[in-house]
Amino acid sequence: MQSQPTLPKQGLLSQLNDLPDVMSAEQSQQLLEETLRVYEDHIDRFLPLYVRVLGEEMLEWRAEGAFLYSPSGQRWMDCLGAGGVFGLGFRHPKVVDAVKKQLDRVGLSARLFVNPVTAALAQKLVSLAPAGLDQVWFANSGTESLEAALKLARLATGRPGIVGTQYGYHGMSIATLSISGLEAWRKGTEPAVGGSSVIPFNDIGSVKKAVTADTAALILEPVQWASGCEVATTEYLKAVREHCDKVGAFLIFDEVQCGLGRAGTLWGHTPSGVVPDILCVGKILSGGVMPLAAVLYNDKVRHGERDRPQFNNSSYGGNPMSCAAGLAALNVMTDDGVLDRAIDLGARLGVALDEFVKKYPKAIKAHRGAGLMRCLEMKQPSMGSVIQDYARKRGVIIASMMHMPQFVRVSPPFTATDEEFAFFLNAVEESLAEIARMSLMDLMRYNNDFGKHAQQVMMKLAQDRAAEA
Ligand SMILES: Cc1ncc(COP(=O)(O)O)c(C=O)c1O
């Protein structure tokens, strides 16, 4: 890491490649301001506002292992990780190395020739998938894998119906929103895709009514993050499987988030023994380095491809660099003991959270989820943003959910060392202890002060902009 004291005073965005890894607080602030400005003008008004209100140097400049670093070297342990992408932490050396080597051979695919690294990843993925799921289509994102899964189900059945569950989340495209289970996400994007419907989760009665001879597929997450990490019961999954078979509908498991060790077992569905017809995988498959997702499906589904040379297409899906990342990531998981580590840390997290619930009942009511995919359920919705703040001030990123602020998501990396894991647990425990000491009045004051501060920041920003104009 080199440090370089003299830097231009402005225009840093046009010289990013010349900037050092570590800068002074003043230079870092300058880079933050320039970045916020462009976000506000061209990308997104909300994220920069959040950063301005918190007043912290939340500028993603470097990342390594469990930590994100700002340009001046402030660091946070990321236990949210883009909804669970960073199972292997940031920039796992073996994944980075594999991608660099692949880039020096062939980066993106011309898509006319076959590529061995894509084949090797498919082979590895199939070896880890439940028996029968031996067909693979590679996508660039989880959403795209879900779109492909829906398409496969319709192609193979010739039926229109696609059924999702309440609090299910499958992406933000129109089709995936149509089977996602939160009104707020869909609002303004209607009408939903024809034939789509959404039913309660973990409720077999609703499945029996909604999944009929017109249904192509039922889509669900074995561990649903947006409900505060509700886990599908084994009885439910078994009954769902039986009913789908009875009416000839396919069963799609969206394991973009809960798969590949995140929920404390190789697959989210592993404890139930229920195997879907179509399985969507993403996030951790990227190794935290290159965008990658996949759909795995069985021979019954493959039937739908018979009439066409390709059922789907993508310029970048399954590109050699992403596949090199995915292959290295899966090898690290299976050969370097990272999957076992995820299982072990997941169990330890469960034990620690049980203890916190007993020790700080004034702050935390319960916890839900499995493995390293958990949610704390705070005693009051107003405590969600407080614990998020307190943990961040202690150097740990966790997040309260916007639509249900009493639920706070924690998704630590599998590769966290014992010391890092203890650092994370300690930050959560200290934050809970601090909240448990707060009276209801303290809580109200905290949230009011925060609201007032946010208003002041917004007003100052509006004034500064007006003065410039
Ligand atoms: C369960 C689930 N499905 C699908 C998606 C969409 O994946 P992506 O953001 O990679 O498109 C996500 C993302 O959070 C997810 O958690």
pLDDT band at residue 358, thresholds of 50, 70 and 90?
very high
Would you say the CB of residue 145 lies under 6 angstroms from ligand 1?
A: no
CA distances from 36 to 30, 163, 288, 362, 461 (A): 10, 40, 25, 38, 11
- pLDDT > 70? residue 204: yes
Four-point Cα dihedral 106, 108, 113, 115, nearest 10: 60
**So what's the pLDDT on residue 8?**
63
Ligand 1 geometric centre to CA of 257 (Å)? 7
Query: How much is the average pLDDT of 189-218?
Result: 97
Q: Residue type at 91?
A: R
Four-point Cα dihedral 80, 81, 85, 88, nearest 10: -110
Look at the pTM and tell me if it is higher than 0.85. Answer: yes
Tell me: the pLDDT tens digits for 384-407?
999 999 999 999 999 999 999 999
Mean per-residue pLDDT of the chain: 95
- How far apart CA 248 and CA 74 sit, in angstroms, is 55
114 or 82, which is more confident: 114
- How far apart CA 86 and CA 187 sit, in angstroms, is 30
**So what's the pLDDT on residue 36?**
95
Ligand 1 geometric centre to CA of 165 (Å)? 15
Note whether 71 and 27 are within 8 A (CB). yes
pLDDT band at residue 96, thresholds of 50, 70 and 90?
very high
Would you say the CB of residue 141 lies under 6 angstroms from ligand 1?
A: yes
Ligand 1 geometric centre to CA of 19 (Å)? 33
- pLDDT > 90? residue 469: no
- How far apart CA 398 and CA 410 sit, in angstroms, is 5
Task: Dig out the tokens for 151 from the structure.
Answer: 């398409």
- pLDDT > 80? residue 308: no
Would you say the CB of residue 142 lies under 6 angstroms from ligand 1?
A: yes
Would you say the CB of residue 147 lies under 6 angstroms from ligand 1?
A: no
Atom 7 of ligand 1: nearest residue by CA position: 142
Query: Which of helix, strand or coil describes residue 293?
Result: strand
Query: Which residues are within 8 A (CB) of 369 and not within 5 positions of it... i.e. 6 or more apart?
Result: 223, 228, 229, 231, 263, 375
State which of 138, 144, 169, 231 you would mutate to test the pocket of ligand 1, scoring each by most atoms of that ligand within 8 A of its C-beta: 169
CA distances from 223 to 9, 76, 198, 339 (A): 49, 27, 17, 18
DSSP state of 267: S
**So what's the pLDDT on residue 6?**
61
**So what's the pLDDT on residue 9?**
66
Query: Which of helix, strand or coil describes residue 106?
Result: coil
Ligand 1 geometric centre to CA of 436 (Å)? 34
**So what's the pLDDT on residue 306?**
58
Residue count (the chain): 469
pLDDT band at residue 311, thresholds of 50, 70 and 90?
confident
Question: Which overall architecture, per CATH, does domain 93-335 show?
Answer: 3-Layer(aba) Sandwich (3.40)
Percent of the chain whose pLDDT exceeds 70: 97
Would you say the CB of residue 83 lies under 6 angstroms from ligand 1?
A: yes
All structural domains of the chain with their residue ranges:
93-335
